[in-house]
Structure 1
């Protein structure tokens, strides 16, 4: 039975009341998910609030979080476990495969073996190419043949030699996640785990160099609370059962998820020819929304160098167009650079070869600069 037909049948069953509930429980048993997961979900329905994390200094809310979206127990039977994967170092595998030995998770993107995971999993395996990794999907093992990493988001696309694999449902819902929304993933034992969105915020800047952000690196991530048991690289699902992001792991202010919108436009290129194609500007900047009292009403990106890190990368499109250190980028094609729409996120809407108008503040003047975007170099 296909995933969508199953969902339709599930909805029909629920309409008939008690019999639908019994069917749901039976399907939960068939999928082999622990009864404890169901109990956890039911308990979640009675939790009125969770305490907010202390995210002060990162431009994200610190007030208590009210849980906005509840998960119902029928999430257990919606086929989410089937298209998920556990990733192992091949050298760690013996005749007995222990789930606790997994170094990361993944999600099956295509039936012929493309998976989504995160760069951290490749780093833990000591292999940027993916070789030396083995994926376990539905109780079967598949050797990873190659990997492609999106350097902007650090999401990794890995390929195994598979056919007829179950696939996840993709949606572009990550930008719709709100503080208090519930999301789910699977732990290394296949149990359903829930977490709550605590904030949308910037990737933490841990030192003065990191305050100078790159136009070619993702800036906005989703922060979660309650991620005990989550594996790096695991798909994070919304209450509709669609992938809303890829779990990264811990950081000082909270556990991070790469939102689906940060890498969704790269999927077609990877499936077509195994490559990631991104636009390239070539600047480093200070996000003035993170610096109270600076800039023009807390918006804009101040082009700034630090040590050996230049504000304008040599021979980059920014350099060729005449952008200078000290310029403050105010807008791209009329869309303002703000706390909610950072410079890197605005650039993701364009492709190599596009010409954009960048509005900058230089001294006391505001001017427009035409920039022909290049293709992001391979790291």
Structure 2
């Protein structure tokens, strides 16, 4: 009898222990779920739950990378860079000095060229001043050799526009808009020699001159790395768009510097850039107690004492020193849209409507842009 009672007590005690363990586990699980929900709602609400973190979203950075785990970051970046290299590979050509034997070593190019139209227009750093079409040939990535039938020089940028014969299907990449070029943005360098580097935009640098021209650019792109060892440098963003080109003075020009020249080239078979003919201060770039307006282009004398070029469209339209241009065709002038970029987005001889302030009075005029 005593033995039976001992057995019963043993099993009752064991059941209590098991019950206690089960209850503790249940409460622990419940607390964990509640804690996770609180963390998700109040602490980590910006992080996608059970999803990859997309670093191209506005909440993170401009990098077009998706992180699915810390160990995969470098792998993902390498894959993205490889995609860009492959997508831009065929849009770059080599420019070679023509030889009588008609054979070429592919690493002996004199310049890299960037294809800008499918029918054979290429842009490259300026060839020697007295260069003739028959002095050079173009070689593509598929090792096809093309003769040059046109070389047109762009004096503003020190680049040449080169055309080759008999082409209809060259590979072309789109241009990045100047507003899409951001500090810290990842970009990739490319050249005929496949010198590919991943770097980033450190900023857009304007020259130190306070007074600028409506008819020439004064800004350049600065990279976080200095690629002096790379003779030619073409910049692409991680969408495969063209961002900029380095000129013979090692200045990296945004691709938008070439847009009006390209438009003119395709339309007229020659380069004509638009002219307004004013010198100005971008009010978004300065702080002054004497000027109540914080944006716009105030016409001002340059270091040579010229504010409006004689017989220019601005002169003919009656603009004066001290006028503040506020809009061009309803596009507001501000920190992101200065007068030069707006004017240079048009073609020579286009007509534009200019709104401006004179002695605090709003005025409006129609101006036909000149050409040079």
TM bin (shorter chain): 0.5 to 0.7
Give ranges in structure 1 of 5+ residues lacking alignment: 1-65
Aligned match of 1:357: 354
Aligned-partner SS, 2:193 = coil
Query: Relative contact order (C-alpha < 8 Å, sep 6+): which is higher?
Result: 1
2:123 alignment partner, one of 116, 127, 135? 116
> Which residue of the partner structure matches residue 72 of structure 1?
78
Equivalent residue, structure 2, for 1:326: 322
Q: 1:366 aligns with which of 358, 361, 364?
A: 361
Paired position in structure 2 for 1:246: 245
**Secondary structure, aligned partner of 1:357:** strand
SS of alignment partner, residue 170 of structure 1: coil
Distance across 1 between alignment mates of 2:132 and 2:230: 24
What CA RMSD, in Å, does the superposition of the two structures yield over aligned residues? 3.6
Q: Give 1:135's aligned residue.
A: 138
- Of residues 184, 194, 199, the one that matches 2:188 is 184
Say which one has the larger Rg: 2
User: How many angstroms apart in 2 are the aligned matches of 1:132 and 1:183?
Assistant: 34
CA contact (8 A) 2:323 2:356 kept: no
Match status 1:193 vs 2:200: no
Match of residue 271 from structure 1: 266
Deviation (angstroms), 1:125: 2.2
Counterparts of 1:227 and 1:143, CA distance in 2: 34
Aligned residue pairs, count = 296
Alpha-carbon distance between aligned partners in 2 of 1:279 and 1:285, rounded to the nearest angstrom: 16
* C-alpha distance after superposition, 1:147-195 (max 9, x if no partner): 3345566554211225366312214455323222211232452232222
**Which residue does the alignment assign to 1:168?**
172
Distance 2:168 2:354 in 1: 46
The change in CA–CA distance for 1:335 and 1:110 in structure 2 (over 3 A counts) is closer
Q: TM-score, normalised by structure 2?
A: 0.66
Q: Partners of 2:277 and 2:311 in 1: how far apart?
A: 9
- 2:364 is equivalent to residue 375 of structure 1: no
Matches within 5 A, 1:280-291: 280-291=275-286
Shift of the alpha carbon at 1:281? Answer: 1.1
| Mapped pair 1:105 → 2:112 | yes
Pair 1:339 & 2:338 matched:
no
Report the Cα offset of residue 215 of structure 1: 0.8
1:312 paired residue number: 308
**Superposition deviation, residue 343 in structure 1:** 0.6
* 1:316 to partner: Cα distance: 1.0
Take 1:371 and 1:77, find their aligned partners in 2: how far apart are those partners? Answer: 46
Query: Structure 2: where are the runs of 5+ without partners?
Result: 1-60, 66-76
Cα drift, residue 342 of structure 1: 0.6
CA–CA separation in structure 1 for the residues paired with 2:262 and 2:323: 34
1:329 and 1:76, CA in 2 relative to 1: closer, same or farther beyond 3 A?
Answer: closer
Q: CA deviation at 1:350?
A: 4.1
The separation in 1 between residues aligned to 2:345 and 2:104, in whole angstroms, is 47
Q: Take 1:77 and 1:336, find their aligned partners in 2: how far apart are those partners? A: 37
> d(CA) in 2 for partners of 1:310 and 1:128?
36
Distance change in 2, residues 1:279/1:164 (3 Å): closer
Q: Provide the C-alpha distance between the structure 1 equivalents of 2:273 and 2:128, rounded to a whole number of angstroms.
A: 26
**Partner Cα separation in structure 1 for residue 131 and residue 368 of structure 2:** 27
Work out whether residues 89 and 132 of structure 1, in 8 Å CA contact, stay in contact via their aligned partners in 2: yes
Structure 2 vs 1, CA of residues 79 and 131 (structure 1 numbering), >3 Å: closer, same or farther?
A: same
Secondary structure of the residue aligned to 2:179 is helix
TM-score using structure 1 length: 0.64
* Cα displacement string for residues 286-325 of structure 1 (whole angstroms, at most 9, x for unaligned residues): 3344443364454332323345462111111111111122
Match of 1:39 in 2: none
**Cα distance change on mapping 1:198 and 1:157 into 2, 3 Å:** same
SS at match of 1:169: coil
